[in-house]
Structure 1
Amino acid sequence: MSSSNTAIVTGGSAGIGAEIVRQMLDAGYEVISMARRAADFTHERLHNVQVDLSDAVATEQAAAEVSQRFAVTHFVHNAGVIWPNLLPDVKLDELQGLTQIHLGSAIQITQACLPAMQQQQFGRIVLMSSRGALGLPTRTAYSATKAGMVGMARTWSLELAASGITVNVVAPGPIQTDMFYDVVPAGSEREANIAKGIPVQRLGRADDVARAVMFFCDPANSFITGQTLYVCGGASVSSVTI
């Protein structure tokens, strides 16, 4: 794979995003990480753009600058936040904030990249949803916006197919990341019980998810679009309590 593949990865500085960035670099991609902080590793083909995706104005500006510097061929929208709350405690500003992070920034960045993709008649867009889109306690705002990503991707897949652009979704289950451990204490009985409740009897790893993203990003996979792939150890067809 040549360096003509140029990818934006949101949230590429840590967790799943950092692993996606590493796998893309290993595959020869030029990679732009758009995240609140720079990645803690360096590479000659890695470019860090620090931006808070919850800020629509800053996101629009950053996306415009990146699209001017690079002819982006791949966009992986991995950045996400949970902000858990039971229904009586949900605040509308949480819903609005997650709408911007999960949906609004995806629209803004895609709009900025679209002219180059359409000109090249090639593009790969992957949105990172969640098994939580199917419903989990305390996830009102999170599950609503993560489910929205699925509908948005299906719509984009129809609109962009004729331009050689595929749009797909990866939906992870419980993955061993800092975001997961912000909600579930590491080494706790709760963590052990979650792992036991997953059909494959373990928590997922960042590389499990990154490989699924790389599958959708492969230029050879041009006949797959509008799809959602759950990387969840079977949790999406079973039941799991997080």
Structure 2
Amino acid sequence: MKFKDKKVLITGGNSGIGLVTAKLFVQEGAKVIITGRDQNTLDSAKKALGENAIAVKADVLDTKEREDLIGVIKDKFGELDVVFANAGITKPTPVGATTEEDFNQVLNVNITGAFFTVQSALPFLKKGSSVILNGSVMSVLGVPGSSAYSASKAGVRAMTRVLSSELGPKGIRVNMVVPGATKTPIWGPEGEPTNARLNAITRSIPMGRLGEPDEIAKAVLFLGSEESSYIQGTEIVLDGGATSSPAAAPIYLGK
């Protein structure tokens, strides 16, 4: 077991990529704290993860709830080996039809929330520990109607590099995963592409399919492990070739 007795914190670990990642860490022997804002999904996730997981209701933007989380980390773990700053939201923000409240909410959760997750965890991160942030290919694709989300993920990319410079001298590695379109609850039941838009997205991916959550999770485990001990301030893109070789996508090949 690669992570036997390692201590892991995953924000937004009650569903989607976060939950699948938590499951893999537990399978590899880790003890995991997951957070989320919805108590029902947290309860379900805790049941699925078993005795080596702790579920804490915590909003990444709520100072009091972050303090409560710090208390749990201190009392139950004492230290952390891996932090996966995964919590994030998305909503349409088309120019000309977006409220300031909606725009700011996306930026605050995705950028400010990620930063204060790392800052809150810092006192527990020891030399050799690993921080992984969750980005998105949306930061470079220029998808219409996604200004806030795309900007937030571009900010996470820049922040990853800054944090790696700040925390590297402490022996802490900071990297990020960059998922493309992935089968998560955001797309509906079981993340399946069930409408014309999702079918078009699938055709725009060179590999001709959406990513699986466990494919992202395995990259997170790699970045959290000793196998990536010489990787710092960089990103692993998991998008089926959408950003590296878009001309090979089925939509451009008449398929």
Quick check: TM above 0.5?
yes
1:95 corresponding residue in structure 2: 103
Measured after TM superposition, the shift of residue 66 of structure 1 is: 3.1
Cα gap change, 1:131 to 1:190, in 2 (>3 Å): same
Measured after TM superposition, the shift of residue 124 of structure 1 is: 0.6
* Consecutive unaligned residues in structure 1, runs of 5 or more: none
- Of 40, 61, 65 in structure 1, the residue corresponding to residue 67 of structure 2 is 61
1:112 corresponding residue in structure 2: 120
Cα gap change, 1:60 to 1:186, in 2 (>3 Å): same
Cα gap change, 1:66 to 1:112, in 2 (>3 Å): farther
Cα gap change, 1:2 to 1:15, in 2 (>3 Å): closer
2:243 corresponding residue in structure 1: 236
Residue by residue over 1:96-134, the C-alpha shift from the partner in whole angstroms, topping out at 9 and shown as x without a partner, is: 2222211222222212221222xx312111110101011
Cα gap change, 1:82 to 1:101, in 2 (>3 Å): same
Distance (Å, rounded) in 1 between the aligned partners of 2:124 and 2:12 = 22
2:182 aligned with 1:175: yes
Distance (Å, rounded) in 1 between the aligned partners of 2:134 and 2:224 = 13
2:85 corresponding residue in structure 1: 77
2:204 aligned with 1:197: yes
Distance (Å, rounded) in 1 between the aligned partners of 2:105 and 2:31 = 30
* SS of structure 2 residue aligned to 1:235: coil
Distance (Å, rounded) in 2 between the aligned partners of 1:62 and 1:44 = 20
* SS of structure 1 residue aligned to 2:48: coil
TM-score, structure 2 as length reference: 0.86
Give the count of matched residue pairs: 237
1:19 corresponding residue in structure 2: 20
Q: Among the aligned pairs, what percent are the same residue?
A: 28
Measured after TM superposition, the shift of residue 195 of structure 1 is: 1.0
Distance (Å, rounded) in 2 between the aligned partners of 1:224 and 1:165 = 11
Cα gap change, 1:140 to 1:185, in 2 (>3 Å): farther
Asked if structure 1 preserves the Cα contact closer than 8 Å seen for 2:22 and 2:49, the reply is no
Distance (Å, rounded) in 1 between the aligned partners of 2:214 and 2:66 = 30
Distance (Å, rounded) in 1 between the aligned partners of 2:205 and 2:3 = 38
1:35 corresponding residue in structure 2: 36
Cα gap change, 1:51 to 1:116, in 2 (>3 Å): closer
2:234 corresponding residue in structure 1: 227
Asked if structure 2 preserves the Cα contact closer than 8 Å seen for 1:86 and 1:137, the reply is yes
1:44 corresponding residue in structure 2: 51
Distance (Å, rounded) in 2 between the aligned partners of 1:201 and 1:77 = 28
Cα gap change, 1:236 to 1:62, in 2 (>3 Å): farther
Measured after TM superposition, the shift of residue 30 of structure 1 is: 0.7
Measured after TM superposition, the shift of residue 50 of structure 1 is: 0.9
Measured after TM superposition, the shift of residue 201 of structure 1 is: 0.7
* Consecutive unaligned residues in structure 2, runs of 5 or more: none
Higher deviation after alignment, 163-172 or 40-49 = 40-49
Cα gap change, 1:58 to 1:84, in 2 (>3 Å): farther
Asked if structure 2 preserves the Cα contact closer than 8 Å seen for 1:59 and 1:108, the reply is no
